[in-house]
Amino acid sequence: MLVLGLMGSPRREGNTDLLLSAFLEGAQEEGVRVLKIYVAEKRITPCQGCRFCEKNGFCRIEDDDMDEIYHLLRRADLVAVATPIFFYGPTAQLKALIDRSQALWARRYILKLQDPKSKVRKGFLLAVGATRGKELFTGTSVTARYFLNAIGASFEGVSGFRQIESLGDISHHPSALSEAKRRGKGLVEMLSKRKRVLFLCRENAYRSQIAEAFLQFYAGESFDVQSAGDQPVREINPFAIEVMAKKGIDLAFRRPKGLGEIESKGRPFDLIVLMGCETSCPAIPAARVENWELEDPAGKSIEFIYKTTDAIEKMVKELIQQEGLKEVH
């Protein structure tokens, strides 16, 4: 499970940074991986409103840091958006990132593709401002709500703190840091009750990628799912994206992961599914290990790829039913 913090202030170790650290510390107490992005230090070109993404599903601007951010947004289970209030809104640096999520909005609402994690991903807003204004967080809350919706996350609320101005003010607030920590921990607790499943294959290019996506798509509320490969390649098989898109499932921005990237801290896996590792798959603690016999679709015909995809979808549905969690049709 990944918790992503978007630190929107240009000031490192300022109020927003400390508040977000407290939130992530709370999440970390639950044994999950946390990652803080210093948005102001990333190269993010503002959206040009060219509408290229509405036709193509990705942004025309390709030479900045957004590609990595799209990937992380898709990988995250919980996204914390943190910003100081600048003129009653988020900072310009954060707003540039928000506007570039229009590509994800277009994939969802124009191309009608569903990110498999979008049913369970959660989002939260942390904000600080210097004044006491009644409407201090109103505009930013609406922006955060629509941003989170575009990236496929439910808006779980806002912790906003007034009269926070100079460096370090947040540390003297009677409850801000403890409240942020409590919210981080609480939101992760809700997600960490799910059964942990890991799909492993050789390249993490096709079989384990689509098994992961199907299980997230059909039963992400019951399973915390990951996939990896013992010899990961650079990119997932483009057919995987194409074939899954025909089913309305969006695999864009997903990447193959090696065994070292498995988020295995915390509880052991409830289930590891081996799908043809070359070496015997590694000693990762799991309550149960299954072996799904599936031939590697690399280099095979499109018919073979469709057949493999349908076979994996069927096996995933059977797995959900075996676990007695729900009927899947």
Binding site for ligand FMN (CB under 6 A): 9, 11, 14-16, 84-88, 128-131, 136, 164-165
Q: Smaller CB distance to ligand FMN: residue 16 or 237? A: 16
10 torsion bin: left (phi>0), alpha (psi -120 to 50), beta (else): alpha
Amino acid, single-letter form, for residue 61: I
Q: Smaller CB distance to ligand FMN: residue 84 or 152? A: 84
Q: How many C-alpha atoms does 214 have within 13 Å on its Cβ side?
A: 26
CA distances, 139 to each of 17, 82, 125, 134 (Å): 21, 14, 12, 11
Residue 4 Cβ vs ligand FMN, minimum distance, rounded to whole Å: 18
Question: Do 52 and 22 form a contact (C-beta atoms < 8 A)?
Answer: no
* Residue 251: exposure state from Cβ atoms within 10 A (0-12, 13-18, ≥19): buried
Residue 38 Cβ vs ligand FMN, minimum distance, rounded to whole Å: 12
Length of the chain in terms of residues written: 329
Residue 18 Cβ vs ligand FMN, minimum distance, rounded to whole Å: 8
Q: Smaller CB distance to ligand FMN: residue 37 or 281? A: 37
Residue 25 Cβ vs ligand FMN, minimum distance, rounded to whole Å: 17
DSSP state at residue 132: -
Both structure tokens of 214: 């199907």
DSSP 3-state of 122: strand
Q: Smaller CB distance to ligand FMN: residue 85 or 197? A: 85
Residue 7 Cβ vs ligand FMN, minimum distance, rounded to whole Å: 8
| Residue showing the smallest CB distance to ligand FMN in the complex | 14
Q: Smaller CB distance to ligand FMN: residue 16 or 149? A: 16
DSSP 132-198: --TTTTHHHHHHHHHHHHHTT-EEEEEEEESS--STTHHHHSSSHHHHHHHHHHHHHHHHTTSEEEE
Residue 128 Cβ vs ligand FMN, minimum distance, rounded to whole Å: 5
Nearest 10 degrees: CA dihedral of 47, 48, 51, 54?
A: -10
Question: Do 120 and 220 form a contact (C-beta atoms < 8 A)?
Answer: yes
Q: Smaller CB distance to ligand FMN: residue 129 or 256? A: 129
Residue 17 Cβ vs ligand FMN, minimum distance, rounded to whole Å: 6
DSSP 3-state of 286: strand
Q: How far apart are CA 88 and CA 77, in angstroms?
A: 28
Residue 98 Cβ vs ligand FMN, minimum distance, rounded to whole Å: 17
Q: Smaller CB distance to ligand FMN: residue 37 or 277? A: 37
DSSP 3-state of 327: coil
Q: Smaller CB distance to ligand FMN: residue 82 or 319? A: 82
Both structure tokens of 216: 């997230």
